[in-house]
């Protein structure tokens, strides 16, 4: 019940912008560095570009896809990294006006994730109500709704080394808590059967052609649910590049280029034939992120480089209700 109440409260903050659409920015693996200046040039460039995108394309909120603070998360809710890597880095007026809905990555779990939840009491824009939670979004000017289900894939699958080639999660630290999260997700997906779009977000990828590749735990636990419930798209980070994959009606968005950019496609043969539609990981790139627009007709995903260049765009249809 607590999670449901949080979802209703959060939903009132989004989906009310102009343009008859819900729009948001999705960025992962953006968490700077633990020594001065606490940001990387790529994070700074990405933050500036996100501000421009919010102003020019529109945005109701930001979805932060984990690894919010490299390399070992934060110590407590007063950790200076909140100011150094988040508040001061994402300082464009257009970003300061937006709520940030946050989830945890494996590097956040190296530190104190409960402190990141508690920071929601100190920042007007940092929204991290629980390790996993639900947002109901209303498409302006229509009767259509969308659902965003935010997961903690580290609690679900276990920790891993973000920089180890092919490193896989070691299993959940608390099997009962992992089962509780999975049961919660199953209930929320069943309850979303009348929503025009359903998005699920976590840190680890289901499918990825890059260094870490597919997450076997999520292929086993999450992929069948995404297909069964006709989820529109799954959004994640973890691999430090931009990708779009499509399998059995589900879109897979990897947006992990907020702080690093890696060109490896080590696991291209590990994804289904024809699933990989877009990949960008040029080492010289200034970074990037995704812009999502949900309107009455389509869920449009645009991948943007931090220099403003449109890299790829795809439109996904509404669910067949």
In this model, does residue 11 exceed pLDDT 90?
Answer: no
Cα distance between residue 176 and residue 278, in whole Å: 37
Identify whether the C-beta of residue 165 lies closer than 8 Å to the C-beta of residue 266: yes
User: Where residue 127 falls among pLDDT bands split at 50, 70, 90?
Assistant: very high
The owner of tokens 């291209």 is 268
User: Where residue 10 falls among pLDDT bands split at 50, 70, 90?
Assistant: very low
pLDDT value of position 157: 97
pLDDT value of position 176: 97
CA 30 to the chain's CA centroid? 11
In this model, does residue 276 exceed pLDDT 70?
Answer: yes
Question: How much of the chain, in percent, has pLDDT values that exceed 90?
Answer: 89
Q: What is the DSSP letter of 69?
A: S
In this model, does residue 193 exceed pLDDT 80?
Answer: yes
Burial code (b: 16+ CB inside 10 Å, e: under 16) for 255-282 equals bbbbbbbbebbbbeeebeeeebebbbbe
Residue positions counted in the chain: 321
pLDDT in tens, 94-120: 999 999 999 999 999 999 999 999 999
pLDDT value of position 321: 77
In this model, does residue 164 exceed pLDDT 90?
Answer: no
Which residues share a beta bridge with 133? 150
CA distances to 47, 195, 269, 289, 317 from 28, rounded to whole Å, are 12, 25, 24, 8, 24
User: Where residue 167 falls among pLDDT bands split at 50, 70, 90?
Assistant: confident
Token representation of residue 276: 């990989």
User: Where residue 144 falls among pLDDT bands split at 50, 70, 90?
Assistant: very high
pLDDT value of position 129: 98
Binding-site positions for Fe cation read 29, 67, 70, 106, 203, 238, 240
Token representation of residue 278: 């877009």
Contacts for 129 with CB less than 8 Å, ≥ 6 apart: 3, 6, 10, 117, 120
In this model, does residue 166 exceed pLDDT 60?
Answer: no
In this model, does residue 217 exceed pLDDT 90?
Answer: yes
CA 106 to the chain's CA centroid? 13
Once rounded to an integer, what is the mean pLDDT over residues 277-301? Answer: 98
Q: Angle 176-182-187 (CA atoms, 0-180°, nearest 5)?
A: 125
H or E stretch at 48: helix 41-56
Binding-site positions read 29, 67, 70, 106, 203, 238, 240
Which residues share a beta bridge with 146? 137, 197
Taking 3-state DSSP, the helix, strand and coil percentages for the chain, each rounded to the nearest 5, stand at: 25, 25, 50
pLDDT in tens, 42-82: 999 999 999 999 999 999 999 999 999 999 999 999 999 99
Q: What is the mean pLDDT of the chain?
A: 93
Cα distance between residue 75 and residue 21, in whole Å: 38
């Amino acid at each position: 019940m607590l999670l449901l109440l949080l979802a209703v409260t959060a939903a009132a903050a989004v989906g009310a912008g102009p343009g008859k659409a819900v729009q948001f920015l999705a960025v992962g693996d953006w968490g700077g560095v633990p020594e001065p200046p606490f940001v990387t040039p790529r994070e700074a460039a990405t933050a500036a570009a996100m501000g421009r995108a919010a102003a020019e394309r529109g945005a109701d909120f930001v979805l932060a896809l984990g690894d919010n603070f490299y390399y070992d998360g934060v110590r407590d809710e007063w950790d200076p990294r909140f100011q150094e890597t988040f508040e001061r880095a994402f300082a464009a007026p257009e970003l300061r006006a937006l709520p940030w809905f946050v989830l945890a990555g494996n590097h956040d779990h190296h530190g104190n994730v409960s402190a990141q939840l508690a920071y929601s009491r100190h920042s007007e824009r940092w929204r991290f109500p629980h390790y996993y939670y639900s947002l109901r979004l209303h498409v302006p000017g229509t009767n259509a709704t969308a659902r965003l289900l935010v997961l903690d894939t580290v609690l679900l699958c276990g920790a891993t080394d973000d920089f180890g080639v092919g490193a896989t999660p070691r299993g959940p630290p608390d099997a009962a808590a992992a089962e509780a999260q999975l049961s919660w997700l199953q209930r929320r997906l069943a309850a979303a059967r009348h929503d025009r779009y359903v998005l699920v977000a976590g840190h680890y990828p289901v499918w990825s052609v890059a260094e870490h590749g597919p997450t076997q735990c999520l292929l086993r636990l999450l992929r069948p649910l995404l297909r069964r419930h006709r989820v529109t798209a799954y959004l994640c980070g973890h691999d430090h590049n931009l990708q779009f994959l499509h399998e059995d009606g589900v879109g897979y968005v990897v947006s992990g280029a907020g702080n690093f950019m890696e060109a490896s496609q080590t696991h291209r043969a590990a994804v289904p034939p024809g699933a990989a539609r877009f990949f960008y990981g040029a080492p010289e790139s200034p970074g990037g992120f995704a812009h999502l627009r949900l309107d009455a007709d389509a869920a449009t995903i645009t991948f943007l480089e931090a220099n403003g260049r449109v890299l790829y765009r795809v439109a996904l249809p509404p669910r067949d209700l």
